[in-house]
Amino acid sequence: MDYAEQIERIAGLIQESTGFYVLTGAGMSTESGIPDFRTPGTGMWENVDPIKTSSVEVLRENPRLFYEVGFTRFASIAMAEPNDGHHALVRLEKMGYLKGMVTQNIDGLHVKAGSKKIWEVHGHLRSGYCMGCRKGYPFETLVHQVELKRIPPVCHNCFDMLRPHVVLFGDPMPPLFFEAESVLQANCDLMLVAGSSLVVYPVAYLPQLARRLAIINLEPTEYDDAAEVVVREKCGRALTDIVRLLENS
């Protein structure tokens, strides 16, 4: 199949589906200027191993390292804007095709673009909370304290440490992951994976819950053989073309 046929095939699968869901990863946001983890040359993993700077263990044992390296990277991600791919997914939801989305991304760009039914299973950068009393704080409060070199930032109530509302390496998955899992299990007859290497578990197991699978990713994934269509193209272009086809059909 050439590119045009692949896009046509995915649009056809979407039209046939009654339970169409999308799973997105870091590749969805590279076109917004946020490096992913694993693209050779530009992936974050090539520069600093996130496990050594952004894990829950580092946060507890070396909060200065967490806040000066890992958190600083989070803060730069929070400034990004949605790209054509995010906007295309909003259109798919508004057109009634897309029933929901699971994202591994913490950048919040699907929400910023206007997607409504979304499970941010690795958290987001809109807020943080106190590790002692659990009081919530806007993400900007953490950023502001770090800018003022108050590291680690602390709670006004109990003076325990604040942390961002993201799932760090070593954290358990949040309840909304299990909610997404059971909705997919019950309803997903088609999953489109966009921009994920599908190696981070447990999210990488979710495609197994779909009856049919399509993938848009620049590099091969473990699931390519299980997919009915694999598109080696950027999410922005491919998703925009799928929407254009559905709008004109």
The footprint of ligand NAD (CB under 6 A) covers 25-27, 29-31, 34, 36-39, 43-44, 77, 104-107, 122, 195-197, 199-200, 216-219, 234-235
Nearer to ligand NAD, 79 or 133 (CB): 79
What are residue 21's DSSP bridge partners? 100, 191
Positive or negative, the CA dihedral 77, 105, 22, 11 is positive
**Residue with smaller CB distance to ligand NAD, 76 or 182:** 76
Known active-site residue 122: yes
Dump strand ranges (E) for the chain.
20-24, 98-103, 118-120, 123-130, 136-138, 162-166, 190-194, 212-216, 229-231
Least separation in angstroms between residue 194's CB and ligand NAD is 7
CB of 157 to ligand NAD, least distance (A): 29
155 or 210: whose CB is closer to ligand NAD? Answer: 210
CB 246 within 8 A of CB 12: no
Catalytic residue among 86, 87, 110, 122: 122
Mutual orientation of helices 3-16 and 235-247 as an angle, nearest 10°? 60
Q: What are phi and psi of 43, to 5 degrees?
A: -60, 140
Q: Write down the least CB distance from residue 88 to ligand NAD, Å.
A: 12
CB of 112 to ligand NAD, least distance (A): 12
Handedness of CA 143, 48, 199, 55 (dihedral sign): negative
Tokens of 66: 């967490």
Active site residues: 122
